Amino acid sequence: MRLNPKRTVAELKELRALTADENGAQRVAWTDTWLKAREWFARKVKALAVEQHFDAAGNSWVTLPGASEKSLLIGGHLDSVPNGGWLDGALDELAGLEVLRRIASEFQGRPPVTIRLVDWADEEGARFGRSLLGSSAFAGTHSIEADRGRTDRDGVKLEDALRRCGVEIDKFPDAQKEQKNSAAYLELHIEQGPVLERIGLPLGVVLGTKGVERHIITFHGQEAHSGSTPMNARRDALAAAAKLALEIRTIAKKHEDAVCTMGSVKTFPGIVTAVVGRCEAALDQRDLDAGVLAQMYREAQEASHRFAAEENCTVSWSRLWNIEPVPFHPRLVELCEEAVRETSGSSHRMPSGPLHDAAEVSRAGIPTVMMFVQSLKGISHNKIEDTKEEHLEMSVVALDRLTSKTMELIQNQF
């Protein structure tokens, strides 16, 4: 049986018909629709001579044992956000299935290295606000206590929603057993951004996932009457924040792939008849290079103090969240570039702004790389998310090539 990328596209449509409504994909993790998607996937897998089981965190593992126990992992996620797209996560998983079929057939069921296809549980974190749940359990970077008490919009506890699907949160650490013999991890994903479309390339190589610094910056001034307070006597906290909102763009633009966003600004008292006495701004900064990220953070801090002084205000910072950049494996990045070039002529190296399960696998010390396929208009997490079918087919071919190259690498070196 030869690789059949058209079958992947047909199966993606089949899954869409099964799990989407007029608002988009509804495969939210730990819901009945998600379970239905997983059952559908299990039926596809049954046609192959492979072993399938769920680990302690609800990740699904399909294993095709090879001559060597060293394993090549291919991953994706069948869960979606509510009203999501048809490709996010599902493309990775179904392309992986097609590659698995090709390898099982070519090597009469026994490839030189073991091939494992994983469907990560709850990548999106859409219901409980905790992304990368299954893959972080696998990686051992997960904190049970931090997540146990999370609730969804209806007050259902995360712990109880998982139990309904046969998963006990206290057993999560057992999922780390699946790391055994893992030699490499590959993940194909839609880009979810506009870069590849802008440069006119179907496929790109992902260098890693960007680190994130996320802070609340509070400017303190003085509430005052907007009629009686002369302009030169004001201590306007919003004026200082507004200067910073523009400055972070200058700070980010010094670096090719860096991004800085002030996504939220709250003013107090927040009425039209008062000068703003207090302003809370939320800042998100990202880059693949830890040094660049640290520099941008420092520069934003310095600028905030400068603007606070100019407006006769004071400023304080509090960190909401941060994560280190996760660079992917240099040799696998090279192989991925080869695979992309052989498939579509030329390649582009790029960091990923969004986090992916691949970042957790890489944090577990397993050599990892990701491949991106172009997203039309860069839109994702939306029912209009789309990619040209010819590009989807190319991405299956490129993933297949990358898999062959990685199998060879595992045999010879890892």
300/370 with CB nearer Zn ion: 370
**Which residues are CB-contacts of 200 (< 8 A; sequence separation ≥ 6)?**
none
Cβ atoms of 77 and 124 closer than 8 Å: yes
Residue that has been written with the tokens 């927040």 in this structure? 270
87/410 with CB nearer Zn ion: 87
Q: How far apart are the first and last CA of the chain?
A: 29
Nearest to 356 by CA among 37, 75, 81: 75
Q: How many CA atoms lie within 13 A of 69 on its CB side?
A: 4
Distance of CA 121 to the CA centre of its chain: 13
Which residue has its beta carbon closest to Zn ion? Answer: 89
**Residues of this chain that bind Zn ion (CB under 5 A):** 88-89
Q: Position 324: which residue type?
A: E
102/381 with CB nearer Zn ion: 381
As measured in angstroms, the least distance from the Cβ of 76 to Zn ion is: 8
Nearest to 414 by CA among 332, 343, 291: 332
Helix (H) / strand (E) containing 287? strand 278-287
89/351 with CB nearer Zn ion: 89
Helix (H) / strand (E) containing 98? helix 90-106
DSSP state of 361: H
Please tell me the distance from the alpha carbon of residue 259 to that of residue 293, in angstroms, as a whole number: 10
As measured in angstroms, the least distance from the Cβ of 356 to Zn ion is: 6
189/405 with CB nearer Zn ion: 189
What φ, ψ does residue 83 adopt, rounded to 5°?
A: 55, 40
**Which residues are CB-contacts of 9 (< 8 A; sequence separation ≥ 6)?**
389, 392, 393
As measured in angstroms, the least distance from the Cβ of 357 to Zn ion is: 8
90/260 with CB nearer Zn ion: 90
String of DSSP letters for 189-222: EE--SSHHHHHT-SEEEEEEE-EEEEEEEEEE--
76/277 with CB nearer Zn ion: 76
As measured in angstroms, the least distance from the Cβ of 347 to Zn ion is: 21
Distance of CA 298 to the CA centre of its chain: 26
88/289 with CB nearer Zn ion: 88
As measured in angstroms, the least distance from the Cβ of 381 to Zn ion is: 9
As measured in angstroms, the least distance from the Cβ of 89 to Zn ion is: 4
As measured in angstroms, the least distance from the Cβ of 91 to Zn ion is: 9
As measured in angstroms, the least distance from the Cβ of 16 to Zn ion is: 15
